[in-house]
Amino acid sequence: MLKQKQQQYPEDGQPLSASTGVQFAEFTKGKKRKRKGAELETVTLEKDNGRAGKGSQRKGAGKLMRFNEEGKAEGYPIKDQEKAPVQPIAHRKPESRPKGHTIESQPRRQQPGNPKPSQGNPPTHLLKRRDALLPTRKSLPIWPHAEPIRAALRKNNVLVLTGETGSGKSTQVPQFLLSEPWCTKTIAITQPRRVAAISLARRVAEEMGSLMGNQSPAAKVGYSVRFDNATGPGTRVKFLTEGMLLQEMLRDPEMSQYSAVVVDEVHERSVNVDLILGFLKNLVAGIEKVKKRKTPLKVVVMSATADVEALVQFFGDGVKTSIENGKIEAGDSESKISNSHVSIGDKPEKRDTAKMIENFDQKPTEDSHDQISTCFVEGRQYPVKTIYLPQPTQDWVESALKIIFQIHYKEPLPGDILVFLTGQDTIEGLEKLINEYAQGMDSDVPKLLALPLFAALPQHAQQRIFTPTPHRTRKVILATNIAETSVTVPGVRFVIDCGKSKIKQFRNRLGLESLLVKPISKSAAIQRKGRAGREAAGQCYRLYTEKGYEIMEERTTPEILRCDLSHAILTMKARGADDVLNFPFLDRPPREALEKALLQLLHLSALEETGAISEMGLKMAKLPLTPTLGRVLVEAARPERDCLLDVVDIISALSVENIFLNLVTEERKEEAEAARRELYRREGDHMTLLVTVQRYSEERSDRKVWCEKHFVSHRAMQNVMNIKKQLLQQCSQLKLLTSTELPASSSSEAKTQAGLACILRGFISNTARLMPDGSYRTLMGNQTVSIHPSSVLFGRKTEAIVFSEFVFTGKAWARGVSAVQLDWVSEVIEAIM
């Protein structure tokens, strides 16, 4: 069977014949250009061709590879960043690191005569490095735009900047603004991911000849991410994650420490970025009831895709329009803008990069903030040829397999293949098939090395994609959409895109979330394709037809339209944006979703009957937890509960991915069951988590060995301890930690009951009772739910349950389950209804 199939792959390196069922319609430029709606694609191709020669001639381009062309060391996830904050990004090429020293170690070797950093002058080697980097900076596409950008922000408070991949916007824009007369304080630049914030800060520090913020009081550059704050009194450029800035905005509503906020990667449209933009809009327009700033806050919104119109409209009169229309449709706003506005400078279609700033009045008012500047900066990308399937396929694992071997036989090395798949199971399935087929290859054919890549994969296995490809070998990286944004895989010239991805969707009616395999959007398809053209010209095989591409949605549905909104709304209320139905949303969630979330917050007593935020709600909003978990924590601090320390342990464990390792074989599973038995508690999963965290904390000899013995993830437990520490700090700040709790003050039975009562208070909508037929039905909603097989209560019958997770995967499952008494549940429900 295997042999037969192998013979379908010709050995002479010719493409597969029609008999194999794989044939591709070639993507032709001319044909495509005439087609409307595919313009973005066409434009990229055109421009790519134009830039290819330039790019390849560019000297020193390769040396910058550790950063992408924006000077951004794109997010290889170093999970234990806080443990190794100065660890070089995993895929940095050794030669691209500063030679002979690191920024971190050098200061200790200061010669006595050299100026000390604390005296305000950076060490000379930093200045040398700064000067050496200047030519590279000057060659970035954004460099010629420095003056227009400065001029635009002198005139207006808001700038929308579209910069394609490789334009250099993330590193250069803050540096352009630093010397401006209005810029007397700090510039904040937000990033969706920790690694990006950290590595951008490092890069900009190098370019500015500065130390990192926590190394010297004079250091000008810093970053701030959870568990890792590297800022100091002299920090003028501060990279932070979106979540970090949101927390700051709750504590300092007028953002008094900043002169400007640069919101980067807006096109990714995280819930956090949507909230930040809404708050900034209110702040810039003076709508929010915050203390007025003495100087206006400058706002730069940066996006990779040309969504300028929507953003301009948003900061212009967006609020009004969006309320009138209920929901802004992308197409709608586009046509409106183009009718009422002149051209906004160079569109992507043009290759010429003349001055691109043009201001245009949205509507004349006395306020200058109604004027928004826009700017487009081209990127640096090699051309990528797109190849579609002639016929749609159901079995993309099979199609991918054929194309992998077709490329392998036909295309010369080097040139690795990146395959986008939906999840772990399809990845592992394809990996197995590749290895089977590769065994049958002739010895004169180069080898194939299949490497899986998904977030749940252990760190060391993920690292394998960065190790140099062995001689006469082609890597095939099988990835989820982690490779779309979070990880840049080096060496890729061929992309195979299955056109699907798993998307989480919250169902308001049922109050549960489900994970669905859905077609990706055009913008995601373009993003995936672009991964083939980062180092050289490439090819993208799409496992769908050209028609299939054309019927894709233009862009991925923003997260705010498909998630549980209770956290977002609590944040809004905590910031004083009381009227959530009229909040300036870039995309307005359906009314039903907003109301569902408001009701949920009311049930948690985070809101008063009037809809105003309660004192409890304010505390919950300041905790790095979902509203439900926040509520559990606040409940535990009440004197009559008095079980805060236990509950912090449980919540910390609930805040990380599974702390119990997932075992594959039956044998290992049984082994794990036996080893964990001493941790399991009949009260359920929450008390089991508590015991596990307690035992781990008590372990004084070797915690790693303890974890191995109990089949517990050491990495997850380290994370639990970090979160625990942070929660305890915040509890003390919020005056929650004033209880007289003593470990021996009450019986363990009473403590368990108190802990469960707190969990019940937070998760009151996630409760179910046992029915006579043995099934469970939720008490608020009357839906059938089953205890997930991963629970210690699986297969057990108890009169009522409370669960911390409610997911739908073929069937409604309760995960993280505790047994409770039915009258406890009824009591709480009666009290809140």
Write the DSSP symbol of residue 810: S
270 makes contact with DNA (CB under 7 A) = yes
Q: Is 607 helix (H, G, I), strand (E, B) or coil?
A: strand
Name the minimum Å distance from CB 654 to DNA: 10
Q: Which of 171, 381, 614, 626 binds DNA (CB under 7 A)?
A: 626
Cα 805–chain centre separation? 21
Taking Cα atoms as reference points, which of 771, 789, 765, 761 lies closest to residue 685?
789
Q: What is the DSSP string of 365-423?
A: -S-GGGEEEEEEE------EEEEE-SS--S-HHHHHHHHHHHHHHHSPSS-EEEEE-SS
Count CB atoms within 10 A of the CB of residue 354.
Answer: 8
C-alpha span between 75 and 229 (Å, rounded):
18
C-alpha span between 563 and 556 (Å, rounded):
14
CB–CB of 256/221 below 8 Å? no
Strand 784-787 with 492-497, pairing = unpaired
Question: What type of residue sits at position 634?
Answer: V
Question: What type of residue sits at position 75?
Answer: G
Name the minimum Å distance from CB 423 to DNA: 3
Name the minimum Å distance from CB 148 to DNA: 32
569 makes contact with DNA (CB under 7 A) = no
Please give the helix or strand (H or E) that residue 676 lies within, else none.
helix 666-676
677 makes contact with DNA (CB under 7 A) = no
658 makes contact with DNA (CB under 7 A) = yes
454 makes contact with DNA (CB under 7 A) = yes
481 makes contact with DNA (CB under 7 A) = yes
Q: Which residue number, 186 or 486, has a Cβ lying nearer to DNA?
A: 486
Q: Which stretch binds DNA (CB under 7 A): 65-73, 104-112, 763-771, 803-811?
A: 803-811
Number of residues interacting with DNA: please give it, by CB under 7 A: 49
Strand locations in 520-614 (E): 538-542
Name the minimum Å distance from CB 3 to DNA: 32
* Token pair of 221 as six digits: 């550059």
Q: Which stretch binds DNA (CB under 7 A): 46-54, 204-212, 407-415, 782-790?
A: 782-790
Name the minimum Å distance from CB 451 to DNA: 14
Q: Which residue number, 228 or 317, has a Cβ lying nearer to DNA?
A: 228
Which residue shows structure tokens 């517990």? Answer: 712
Measured over all CA atoms, what is the biggest interatomic distance in the chain, rounded to whole angstroms? 84
> How long, in residues, is the chain?
833
Name the minimum Å distance from CB 670 to DNA: 8
Q: Any residues with CB less than 8 A from the CB of 503 and at least 6 apart, and which?
A: 515, 516, 517, 518, 557, 562
Q: Which of 194, 402, 408, 676 binds DNA (CB under 7 A)?
A: 194
Q: Which residue number, 368 or 775, has a Cβ lying nearer to DNA?
A: 775
Q: Which of 365, 709, 811, 831 binds DNA (CB under 7 A)?
A: 811
Site for DNA in 14-73 (CB under 7 A): none
Q: Which stretch binds DNA (CB under 7 A): 56-64, 296-304, 751-759, 789-797?
A: 789-797
Q: Which of 592, 794, 799, 827 binds DNA (CB under 7 A)?
A: 794
Secondary structure in 3-state letters for 766-784: CEEEECCCCCEEECCCCCE
Q: Which residue number, 199 or 767, has a Cβ lying nearer to DNA?
A: 199
Name the minimum Å distance from CB 164 to DNA: 22
Name the minimum Å distance from CB 85 to DNA: 13
Q: Which of 456, 581, 599, 831 binds DNA (CB under 7 A)?
A: 456
Name the minimum Å distance from CB 250 to DNA: 10
Q: Which residue number, 320 or 725, has a Cβ lying nearer to DNA?
A: 725
Q: Any residues with CB less than 8 A from the CB of 728 and at least 6 apart, and which?
A: 648, 737
Phi, psi of 45 (to 5 degrees): -60, -50
CB–CB of 535/383 below 8 Å? no
Q: Which of 480, 600, 778, 798 binds DNA (CB under 7 A)?
A: 480
Q: Which stretch binds DNA (CB under 7 A): 125-133, 423-431, 572-580, 769-777?
A: 423-431
669 makes contact with DNA (CB under 7 A) = yes
Name the minimum Å distance from CB 242 to DNA: 7
Site string for DNA, 218-257 (x = CB under 7 A): -------xxx-------------xxxx--x----------
Q: Which of 300, 465, 625, 801 binds DNA (CB under 7 A)?
A: 625
Q: Which of 21, 98, 446, 624 binds DNA (CB under 7 A)?
A: 624
788 makes contact with DNA (CB under 7 A) = yes
Q: Which stretch binds DNA (CB under 7 A): 8-16, 760-768, 785-793, 817-825?
A: 785-793
Taking Cα atoms as reference points, which of 35, 6, 32, 56 lies closest to residue 387?
32
Q: Which residue number, 716 or 780, has a Cβ lying nearer to DNA?
A: 716
Write the DSSP symbol of residue 47: H
424 makes contact with DNA (CB under 7 A) = yes
Q: Which residue number, 614 or 791, has a Cβ lying nearer to DNA?
A: 791
**Sign, Cα dihedral of 267, 273, 278, 283:** negative
Q: Which stretch binds DNA (CB under 7 A): 84-92, 436-444, 498-506, 684-692?
A: 498-506
Q: Which of 38, 807, 822, 829 binds DNA (CB under 7 A)?
A: 807
CB–CB of 438/447 below 8 Å? yes
* Token pair of 174 as six digits: 């803050």
Name the minimum Å distance from CB 166 to DNA: 21
Site string for DNA, 580-619 (x = CB under 7 A): ----------------------------------------
C-alpha span between 549 and 552 (Å, rounded):
5
Long-range contacts of 500-509 (CB under 8 A, 24+ apart): 500/396, 500/422, 501/420, 501/422, 502/422, 502/423, 503/557, 503/562, 504/562, 504/563, 505/562, 506/562, 506/563, 506/564, 506/593, 507/808, 508/590, 508/592, 508/593, 508/596
- Sites of contact with DNA (CB under 7 A): 75, 77, 192-195, 225-227, 241-244, 247, 270, 422-425, 454-456, 480-482, 486, 501-504, 515, 567, 623-626, 655, 658, 662, 669, 788-790, 794, 807, 809-811, 815
